[in-house]
Amino acid sequence: MAERRAAITVAAVIARGVVTAAGLLLVASVLVFVLVRAAPGDAVDVEFGESGASALLSSEEEAAARAQRARELGLDRSVPEQYVRWLSRVVRLDLGISFRTGRPVADELVERVPASAALGGAGFLVALAGAWLIGLLSARRPGGLLDHVLRLLSLAATAVPTFLLGSLALRYAAEWIGYPIAGEASWRRLWLPAVVLGVGAMPVVARLLRASLISEYGRPYALAARARGASPARVTFRHVMRPAFTPLLTLAGLTLASLVAASVITEVIFSWPGVSEYAVAAISAKDYPVVQAYLLLVVVVVVVVNRAVDVIQHLLDPRVGQAAEVMA
């Protein structure tokens, strides 16, 4: 009976998460569409400016050519009509055609998603591994010399902008060890941007893990294990580590969001052929379909991860779900 009740509760959490995610995505789609078009100029302005056609045509011919190009791109319609047409295609997984390349946006994203996923996953692992090591060493002797040194290093890592860290890392790695500054996505090129990406997210996770470990070390079950003669390592890895890691799930969404934001800078600096580099080029060209698809993809990833974290937290600790129901 208890198992059935738990299964029903988990199903309710998932259903509530799906409904919430759908609402968030709808709101996000409106914001994405409006904000992309709020910037001055459009794809027609960019095309005519880059091609130099304005200098070759009379004002009447240029106006006619601009109007024709706007009709071809669907920019002659009202913004609400453009949004409805775009949303109706998106729900069918049709992200439109790139203004620049003339190729389906979905195809171009699919080609670049693996590179971005590899970089994001590697950066997340670097952040998690570094935070685990820093948090564990700091929590062993709070207030000690090592704790102060590690906290100072974490603070310094937080203060250094990603673009500065990435630029310095790329310059010296290329000069000292022959790191390839351009090329296709490969394991040889992956490690350096992954480290730069992970270092940016590491301090926040390390601070939370340190606080969580210190709290767990002071709980009765940990003190009882030490009183029975268990070694510090046994207490840490057998008793304390799992409950200490549970609060970190709440940071998963925020960490992912910070990695996505930092990946834009990182991919550009390291010429990493991922989705973010593709989107930056599209922003410069006012390539609306690409920019909209990229922003919507980011929102989908963040929302899905946060909903998944809610479900995992409920499975690990049902009290989280009960508390959420009481708050609701």
pLDDT at 3 over 60: no
Question: Nearest Cα to 207, choosing from 280, 274, 155, 260?
Answer: 155
Its domain, for residue 224, covers: 112-284
309 inside domain:
no
252 inside domain:
yes
- Percentage of residues in the chain having pLDDT higher than 70: 85
Position 327 scores a pLDDT of: 36
Tens-place pLDDT, residues 170-204: 999 988 988 888 777 788 899 999 999 999 888 88
Position 323 scores a pLDDT of: 42
Helices 187-217, 252-269: crossing angle, 10 deg rounding: 150
- For 255-278, the DSSP string reads HHHHHHHHHHHHHHHTT--SHHHH
25 inside domain:
no
Domain count, the chain: 1
289 inside domain:
no
The structure tokens listed for 33 are 């569409």
Task: State the CATH number of the domain containing residue 214.
Answer: 1.10.3720.10
159 inside domain:
yes
Tens-place pLDDT, residues 38-53: 777 666 666 665 554 5
291 inside domain:
no
Instruction: Please list, residue by residue across 101-133, b when 16 or more beta carbons sit within 10 angstroms of its beta carbon and e when fewer do.
Output: eeeebeebbeebeebbebbbebbbebbbebbbe
Tens-place pLDDT, residues 120-162: 989 989 988 898 889 888 888 888 888 889 888 888 888 888 8
**Could you give the dihedral angle defined by the CA atoms of residues 31, 32, 36 and 38, in that order, rounded to the nearest 10 degrees?**
0
24 inside domain:
no
Helices 105-140, 187-217: crossing angle, 10 deg rounding: 40
Tens-place pLDDT, residues 197-231: 999 888 888 888 888 888 888 888 888 888 888 88
120 inside domain:
yes
Position 119 scores a pLDDT of: 92
pTM reported for the whole predicted model? 0.79
SS3 for 92? Answer: coil
- Percentage of residues in the chain having pLDDT higher than 90: 12
